[in-house]
Structure 1
Amino acid sequence: MEQLRKPELNDNLAAYATSDSGGRLHDEPDQIFRTPFQRDRDRIIHSKAFRRLGYKTQVFVNSEGDNYRTRLTHSLEVSQIARSVAATLRLNGDLAETLALAHDLGHTPFGHAGQDRLHALMQDAGGFEHNRQSMRIVSVLEERYPFWEGLNLTRATLKGMMKHGEVYSCDTHLLDLCKERLSGFPAMEMLLVDCCDRIAYVHHDLEDGLDSGYLEFEDLKAHPYWSEAMRSCNDQYGEGFRALRRPLQIRTIIRHLLNVCITDLIVTSTQSLQKLQLLSVEAVRSLNPEQNPIGNSPAMASSIRSIYEYLHKKLYRHPDVIRMSRRGERMIELLFREFTSRPDMMPRHVQRRIDRDGLERVVSDYISGMTDRYAEKQFLYLTGG
């Protein structure tokens, strides 16, 4: 039998890629068959919070249709893009994949409307923000180990999840990591995931908006980003493209746009990295924000902003989407009011954290962890619906 050996990080990693996990907050022995970042990825995939993303709103409430994206499918799509680009840029693909899979763990039910409403309700108790909540989930709320709270992810992963370098005041165990995160330029893998997140949701929200009928194909033809892609598809596929059913034309255009956008990200980032000649992770940490080498070209970044503005006007602010959002906001308002006035209605294992973390924070944890359908179920039960 061939001798088993401990897996190592990809030998092809660049000097500017993250290779040191930094260890864990609670010491654990290394695993024979997986690197620390692979273990982090697997812990996130096996978590309850990750599974619940399958029933949390991306743009459309889960009950609106089976083919629209959810927080879960979005996270998977971001991780695929991030891992592919990381391999080309010689970044740590395991870390990039891990950060992508974890980046939306802290989202509430009912999308950004749910987050905004919960933040307003929490104004006198530290507010609510989904990145901070993600940190709380992986370091406190997930219960899978007998001797510590959370998933005990590596320090490098935890810092990579800190998009703004902030946590809630009750999460004092993370304050030292916050200081480390803010003491220098962030890891390249974190910056990459942020770019891939933006690329994924802009293009996939376009697709879902068109499928739903809230966006109109003919109207999009007037947008330069879309019209140029249509011309390219016409040139490449000819009469075959024009003869396709409209849904397949949409898929073809979206696929083309993603390819162009991701290629631009790779080419632009490669050129920037070559100019900087970064020879170590320490050199990365000494960069200033204006030197950020990971990102799209100015022209492509402008196109992405333009299409986002189009989505904001035509899709995110569509009357039907606003009605869906308002319905979710009302549910969260009632649930927050009910559980803060009667915390004994929450599960006992949730109530146990009240003395340590505060009533409002624990209620916020409980509500934000709900799926769309569970929040609606609780709302209907409490209102007699």
Structure 2
Amino acid sequence: MVAAVLTAPTALAVFACHPGATRGRRYTEQPAPTRTEYQRDRDRIVHSTAFRRLVYKTQVFLNHEGDLFRTRLTHSLEVAQLGRSIARSLQINEDLVEAISLAHDLGHTPFGHAGQDALNGCMADFGGFEHNLQSLRVVDQLEERYPLYDGLNLTFETREGILKHCSRTHARQLEELEPDGVGARFLRNERPSLEAQLCNLADEIAYNAHDIDDGVRSGLITLSQLQDVPLFDAYRWSALREHPALAELSMHRRLLYEAIRRMLSAQVYNVIDTTKAALRAHAPTHPDDVRMLPVLVRFSDDMRERSSVLKQFLFRHLYRHPRVMETTGHAQEIVRELFGAYITNPQEMKAAFAAQALAGDGLGRARAVADFIAGMTDRFAGREHERLTGRRLLQE
């Protein structure tokens, strides 16, 4: 039997991450005969338990509030789609972009940022909780799929891209465990790969667009309110000029979709044009050159300002809407009370986490509890809270 020939991606630029030049995996493995190293990372992520759980984890609206709102899973897929589209135009590695995009939210708690804030508060005396660091813990330690090691044993480049943010304290801890590893750039004030930079921006583009869609669908924000957002309103008007029938009330859903589509396209093209100009100006000739340069994958100044205005609008009118804040309060109460219950009675957790908690010191117990809670879906967290307290704070 003749092994298939593994061909490298075509037309990669000199500043792109090439899978044949990866810094490798923590545990040495033989290369796959038909897949590049980054394709292999992507496949491991897609088949992981943590990835499947994302379908029942909140983006903005809790999982029980509607079947059509975004979840962490659909968000991750949208980030991957945007990232791959932009990566192809920039001639950087699409497979690496996809792998990072699909894994970037694996460490998110149930109940979105509300759950993360609550768990961070619970862990204040134990080093805090960072969802990016937790995503790294998931792929490095918490997944249990292979006989010889914990985690998914991903490549350095994918792991570094997953760690979008990291405090210096945690970066130093990572550096002690893995010298010159994924935490080093935070201590050296260096940039990650262009592929990682792209995922960061694709994440922002995706959530701004889909939060408009979900916000209008929920009735918490309206098309008339969005007239105050120049980035969106410009494309709403361009859609109306080209398709006047969209002004009819019965066509407002189509108007919303068309305006969002045009806004997304404009942002994508802006990133491509601005990044290409930055690459020409700085002329990196190797992926490592990128580390010492400013962030190159970026919006133009004007688009950055308009995107910022949109984010401020969503913060005021959607994320801080009284209905969202009500469920946010209940969600945070669930996380805090789960944490307290498990710290006091670790045996209430699943066996593996209970054993880890009972074998550890105070920090070890708290980290085991945080790992268990962070891995929960919205639905499981609510049910566990009801089991332990007898109270149902969120309706299913």
TM range (shorter): over 0.9
Partner amino acid for 1:301? R
The 1:5/1:240 distance shift into structure 2, 3 A limit, reads same
Deviating more after overlay: 138-147 vs 151-160: 151-160
Note if 1:157 corresponds to 2:162: no
Alignment of 1:292-303 (within 5 A): 292-303=295-306
Deviation at 1:10, TM superposition (A): 1.2
TM-score where L is the length of structure 2? 0.92
Alignment match, 1:242: 247
The 1:143/1:35 distance shift into structure 2, 3 A limit, reads same
Does the 8 Å contact 2:92/2:194 carry over to 1? yes
Does the 8 Å contact 1:340/1:360 carry over to 2? yes
Alignment match, 2:181: 177
2 CA distance for matches of 1:169 and 1:272? 31
RMSD: 1.8
Deviation at 1:161, TM superposition (A): 1.6
Partner amino acid for 2:282? L
Partner amino acid for 2:338? L
Alignment match, 1:307: 310
Note if 1:63 corresponds to 2:64: yes
Out of 251, 255, 260, the position equivalent to 2:257 is 251
1 CA distance for matches of 2:348 and 2:92? 47
Partner amino acid for 1:178? V
TM-score where L is the length of structure 1? 0.94
Alignment match, 2:228: 222
What per-residue deviation string (whole Å, max 9, x for no partner) do you get for residues 199-237 of structure 1? 000111011000100001112123322221122112222
2 CA distance for matches of 1:146 and 1:321? 43
1 CA distance for matches of 2:262 and 2:270? 12
The 1:230/1:126 distance shift into structure 2, 3 A limit, reads same
1 CA distance for matches of 2:61 and 2:154? 31
Gaps of 5+ in 2: 392-396
Note if 1:98 corresponds to 2:73: no
Deviation at 1:248, TM superposition (A): 1.3
What per-residue deviation string (whole Å, max 9, x for no partner) do you get for residues 95-151 of structure 1? 011111111111101110110010011000110010010010000000000110000
Deviation at 1:165, TM superposition (A): 4.7
Alignment match, 2:341: 338
Alignment match, 1:78: 79
Out of 376, 387, 396, the position equivalent to 1:370 is 376
Deviation at 1:156, TM superposition (A): 1.6
1 CA distance for matches of 2:41 and 2:260? 32
Alignment of 1:11-22 (within 5 A): 11-19=10-18, 20-22=21-23
Does the 8 Å contact 1:132/1:168 carry over to 2? no
2 CA distance for matches of 1:80 and 1:251? 17
2 CA distance for matches of 1:141 and 1:279? 37
1 CA distance for matches of 2:320 and 2:120? 20
Deviation at 1:7, TM superposition (A): 2.2
Deviation at 1:57, TM superposition (A): 0.6
2 CA distance for matches of 1:178 and 1:46? 23
Does the 8 Å contact 1:192/1:294 carry over to 2? yes
Alignment of 1:74-223 (within 5 A): 74-165=75-166, 167=170, 173-174=177-178, 176-182=180-186, 183=188, 184-223=190-229
- Give the % identical residues: 39
Note if 1:260 corresponds to 2:266: yes
2 CA distance for matches of 1:179 and 1:116? 23
Aligned-partner SS, 1:118: helix
Partner amino acid for 1:6? V
Deviation at 1:316, TM superposition (A): 0.3
Does the 8 Å contact 1:162/1:181 carry over to 2? no
Count, aligned residues: 380
Does the 8 Å contact 1:165/1:178 carry over to 2? no
Does the 8 Å contact 1:6/1:34 carry over to 2? no
The 1:200/1:317 distance shift into structure 2, 3 A limit, reads same
2 CA distance for matches of 1:39 and 1:106? 20
Deviation at 1:185, TM superposition (A): 2.7
Deviation at 1:193, TM superposition (A): 0.5
Note if 1:325 corresponds to 2:328: yes
Does the 8 Å contact 1:269/1:293 carry over to 2? yes
Gaps of 5+ in 1: none
What per-residue deviation string (whole Å, max 9, x for no partner) do you get for residues 172-199 of structure 1? 6445413543443311111100000000
